[in-house]
Structure 1
Amino acid sequence: MAIGSTIHTFAVQLADMDRGVYDDLTLRVARHPSETDAYMVTRLLAYCLEYAEGIAFGEGISSTEEPAVIVRDMTGSILAWVEVGAPDAERLHHGSRLAERVVVYTHRDPAKVVAPWAGKRIHNVEAIEVRSFDPGFIDQAVALLERRSTVTLTVTEAQLYLDLNGTTLSSAVHTRPAV
């Protein structure tokens, strides 16, 4: 019998002062058995940091048709294609052709994430952003993870303050180009 996804519930208070986004969210996040906790936490942070009308989690880690997080307008057009982890050049090329904006959030070393893309064909690669966090930040957050978690996420001047189940962590949100 196959193991199913594990559902995590997050009660999120979001205050992104850099973008003027303030909201209370209840997110049910399905963690696929092949997905690491670090990937899931990065996916949650990507969702919150990209939060806008029309945002949704993609179909899942095994989907080739959608990214981890996607933002659509009311007509269904893709505004933002948000990858998590270390996507390959082909996925970025595909997403960049469909969306107005592409961003990658990674819990890995961003230099190692972008290295395999060198010399590969990626549509509009100069506009793709890669975002990462301070070393160890995601691992610290993973250690605090529960099936039902309370989250307060504050962003100001590219500094992220994360209160996860009563413990506060902080990290810069590092942004670099894909090339």
Structure 2
Amino acid sequence: MALKSTIYKATLQLSDMDRHVYGEHALTLALHPSETEERLMVRVLAFALNLPADDLNGTLQFARGLSDTDEPDLWQKDLSDQLIQWIEVGQPDERRLAKACGRAERVAIYAYASSTPIWFAGIANKITRLGNLKVWQIPAEQSQALAALASRAMRLTVTVQDGHVYVSDDSRNVEISPQPLWGADA
């Protein structure tokens, strides 16, 4: 018998002063049996950092990710079903990145493990032709602190200002400083 996903519910209050994106979002997240809460919370962070200001070009949605190799962790499709954004969490290989860059206008990767520098050194020379790719590193200690905020029913406040992200629940605060590795000011 296959293990089932665990459902998490989050209310996300977003104030992104860098991009002028604000709002409250009710999220339903499925934690895959092989997924950690750290990865789940990095997916929530990626959602907050990539949410469009409006839905004129479609909405940002959680995709099947780990459950379907043809889908990313998050994506945004326009009203004609064309892929605008493809967002991955973790350390995908260069073939997956090339495939994503061929399918979507913009591709973003959020790598969070302490092994990120080793992974990136292995693919850096292989992704030079992928002009629509941005790779970010979330320092491991920050992603682990973010994971500590995970609960089955979350109320999170995310504030983005000057490239720093502040995530808080009712009692704890975490500061996250995404480091660009490729594409965005790297």
Structure 2 residue ranges without an equivalent (≥5): none
Q: In angstroms, what is the RMSD of aligned CA positions? A: 1.8
AA aligned opposite 1:130: V
Match of 1:92 in 2: 97
What is the match of residue 39 of structure 2?
A: 39
Cα offsets for 1:97-132 (capped at 9, x unmatched): 011111101112432232232454x58424421112
**1:126–1:177 Cα contact (<8 Å) kept:** no
Q: Describe how 1:56-95 pairs up with structure 2 within 5 A.
A: 56-95=61-100
What is the Cα deviation at residue 40 of structure 1?
A: 0.8
Q: Give, in whole Å, the separation in 2 of the partners of 1:38 and 1:28.
A: 16
Aligned residues, how many? 178
Structure 2 matches for 1:128-167, cutoff 5 A?
A: 128-167=133-172
Once residues 129 and 117 of structure 1 are traced to their aligned partners in structure 2, the CA distance between those partners, rounded to angstroms, is: 13
Q: CA deviation at 1:168?
A: 0.9
- Normalised by the size of structure 1, how large is the TM-score? 0.91
Report the AA paired with residue 21 of structure 1: V
Cα distance change, pair 130–119 in 1 and its aligned pair in 2 (3 A): closer
Residue 96 of structure 2 aligns with an amino acid whose one-letter code is R
Partner of 1:115: 121
Distance in 2 of aligned mates of 1:117 and 1:125: 12
The SS at the match of 2:40 is helix
* Fraction of identical pairs, as percent: 31
After superposition, the Cα gap between the structure-2 partners of 1:168 and 1:78, relative to the gap in structure 1 and judged at 3 Å, is same
Q: 1:119 to 1:156 in 2, by over 3 A?
A: closer
Runs of 4 or more, structure 1, over 4 Å off, are none
